[in-house]
Structure 1
């Protein structure tokens, strides 16, 4: 059966960017920036995005495009007889399932809050009331299960329509809407009275703060953010490479995707920080910022119900774009492995995904007593740790070694594939960097992730 292809270059760029753009961009990035010296952190982040994120992204795309297969079969197609690189394909498939086992639940939170905000559920609630609504949602297995199932049905439903008619067509509309909503919200937030202080906190380099935090901490933090923001290492990008024609070089396309991903992360900060400062709220991290602090701010704003609805719609689009992209990867892997039709792959995955997402759902209520990583942690934390600290960086290391080592696919094959087509070319002098420096940086990221976790 002939491999499906993207209808347009824009579709490929928006879908790949959609996979990289997730809820982590929206609240993790602004908070880390604010906590790590503002503009100085952004400079380091952009530096590591260029020297770390871009090369690995081109490697995933190259493996996908050269093999015309999903990650689960790509290594098998390109490796030499008797080699074992293809085992990474199964690890990548497992990583995608594990990522979605908690991502479907968190995406469900976004949809729930969008509906709640649009229907006026939060209007008139004080800070305690909003805190209670978040706690009540987490304590209700029925509510969490309902929204998780809605996310699974939307995601696989879109993927079942096909690459061009479903995934590409709908993601294009969703991503363009996401970008438009973000820019409008950023303008509203920046022009609020008191918003300029938030802007200066976010974008003006604070060298004193950087000194307090420690230069090495800021650098490592920037390295981690650049690495994880692009969802590299579990074949999420390889699948889109496999649908891509040979008309354009892969470095140019990777730059476009990294730019979009960074744009969304930075604009998210332009929405959040001015709003926090305008209403005298300390910017906080994680769920409390998005689900407790921001609804309070929207309640205090003129037209807050409209802006709050727009914000959570944008959050839902950000998370759903990742869900759709990873579901497409999973379906394609099943089709490559077992020869299933697209519809059969969708139905089997719907049932399987609902079942394996339940531990995360129940981890906040029925199984709340199970604290796998210490007091206060949940099943979501365990699943996130395995994906973020182990599977993504280790997978990226394997992709890198496969592309640069003569015991793998080899640097010459990688360079030929990445430079095929019009656009920016990868220079041949980068061989030494990719072969000796890049793997060392990835190992530092792995070791640092494990050290900070166990510490």
Structure 2
């Protein structure tokens, strides 16, 4: 008997928890700052609807129709004699590779939550705050220790099962995440000087797109819209296999995308007005969260409290993704090996921990490994393999599988997606889905390599 969510709310929150991650709450604010504020947000939302949403419906459809994870879903649905089931290896690799660096970064969030709540940043200069981050990276015990804690939390939740562990805990974490976000957003927009940041973030000025380079802004928006939903490695498809056929999948996907977008937009509302209030450039890049924002909190009234809440929110965002992906890893392992949940947890725990060590040690003991040149790390390599290769190529395979007569096929996909009540997936956009979306994905794939190496 296939596991089932106990409620539709559980499905939506956990699916959103998988999609909502560091791409929303860490990358989105600074990339918005880099590419012109509200004008970038408008372009991002456009591509989220026309690109991310259809691919998400396809992943859900493959999962629900097969009642399997990505380990076996293609075997069930593919035409006899075809090789679509080879996709399982890309999905399994993608889930593991994502966790190989995600667990370490989540550990950073826990470290900074503790530092904030204990007042470690109180009275420090800008240079000293920056040194705190570098010192944390240089300490292998902190890096490995907190990564280990994150792996323990994730697999402990998953060991409780789908309803009693993954669904129950993820629902509480998502509700807490949303509540903390709203409190932080209210605080940020009420700071003295935050009004200019709100205007920059919410009032589109398309001349800023020209200043940033129109093509650069469009490619950045396409990439962010595409990668934010964690599509292409079966991490979303697994939750399709856990729901019944009472509702059409387009409406379910829309709700997940809306929740994912809400979190990204509120994250920007937390970060960008605060940056303007304290005269900080919101487009400073990845260091914004760990270097710039702690300086802001250090100078903010009750900054210790607001800083602790901020990094708790960041940790929850990362943990909801980790729990969702761990669930996918476990279900894939069970289907491929026939092991029960306990054995799958034990073996997967060991594998994830060992495979996460290179990233955790890549900033200290293994810092001599610089795959893309001076200053790069093992994390950069792992992120590049996932974000620039497995996610776009995997998504393209899902699209082709659902639209090609040599795969599962358009007719079968439509029948599954439109089973139940709710919003129908439009039959009329077949040409767009079958040809234009793969072309866009190919452009994103090529652009990723161009930006990285040229």
TM category (shorter chain) comes to over 0.9
- 1:38 & 1:243 partners in 2: Cα distance? 38
Return the offset for 1:385: 0.4
Q: Which residue of 1 aligns with 2:228?
A: 229
* Aligned 8 A contact 2:107 2:147 in 1: yes
- 1:206 & 1:52 partners in 2: Cα distance? 24
- 2:286 & 2:44 partners in 1: Cα distance? 23
- 1:304 & 1:83 partners in 2: Cα distance? 59
Q: How does 1:46-445 map to 2 (within 5 A)?
A: 46-445=45-444
Return the offset for 1:359: 0.5
Return the offset for 1:109: 0.3
* 3-state SS of 2:68 partner: coil
- 1:310 & 1:240 partners in 2: Cα distance? 29
1:388-430 Cα deviation digits (max 9, x unpaired):
0000000000000000000000000000000111110111112
* Aligned 8 A contact 1:28 1:285 in 2: no
When structure 1 is superposed on structure 2, of 27-36 and 294-303 the one drifting more is 27-36
Return the offset for 1:208: 2.6
1:234-284 Cα deviation digits (max 9, x unpaired):
001110001111111100010001111111111111111111111122224
- 1:234 & 1:408 partners in 2: Cα distance? 18
* 3-state SS of 1:71 partner: coil
When structure 1 is superposed on structure 2, of 226-235 and 283-292 the one drifting more is 283-292
When structure 1 is superposed on structure 2, of 283-292 and 77-86 the one drifting more is 283-292
* Aligned 8 A contact 1:20 1:230 in 2: yes
* Aligned 8 A contact 1:27 1:285 in 2: no
Return the offset for 1:346: 0.8
- 1:285 & 1:388 partners in 2: Cα distance? 21
* 3-state SS of 2:315 partner: helix
Q: Which residue of 2 aligns with 1:8?
A: 7
Extract unaligned runs of 5+ from structure 1.
Answer: none
Q: TM-score, normalised by structure 2?
A: 0.98
Extract unaligned runs of 5+ from structure 2.
Answer: none
* 3-state SS of 1:248 partner: coil
1:120-151 Cα deviation digits (max 9, x unpaired):
22222221221111111100001100000000
- 1:236 & 1:50 partners in 2: Cα distance? 19
Return the offset for 1:203: 2.0
* Aligned 8 A contact 1:24 1:229 in 2: yes
RMSD: 1.0
- 1:208 & 1:424 partners in 2: Cα distance? 36
* 3-state SS of 1:77 partner: helix
**After TM superposition, what 4+ stretches of structure 1 lie above 3 angstroms from structure 2?**
284-287
- 2:235 & 2:194 partners in 1: Cα distance? 37
* 3-state SS of 1:409 partner: coil
Aligned residue pair count = 454
1:221-240 Cα deviation digits (max 9, x unpaired):
11111100100000011100
Q: TM-score, normalised by structure 1?
A: 0.98
- 2:448 & 2:433 partners in 1: Cα distance? 22
- 2:236 & 2:278 partners in 1: Cα distance? 40
* 3-state SS of 2:157 partner: helix
* Aligned 8 A contact 2:18 2:324 in 1: yes
- 1:165 & 1:213 partners in 2: Cα distance? 48
Q: Which residue of 2 aligns with 1:39?
A: 38
* Aligned 8 A contact 2:42 2:204 in 1: no
- 2:326 & 2:26 partners in 1: Cα distance? 23
* 3-state SS of 2:71 partner: helix
* 3-state SS of 1:312 partner: helix
* Aligned 8 A contact 2:399 2:433 in 1: yes
- 1:435 & 1:359 partners in 2: Cα distance? 39
Return the offset for 1:209: 2.0
1:69-106 Cα deviation digits (max 9, x unpaired):
01011001111121100001121011100010000000
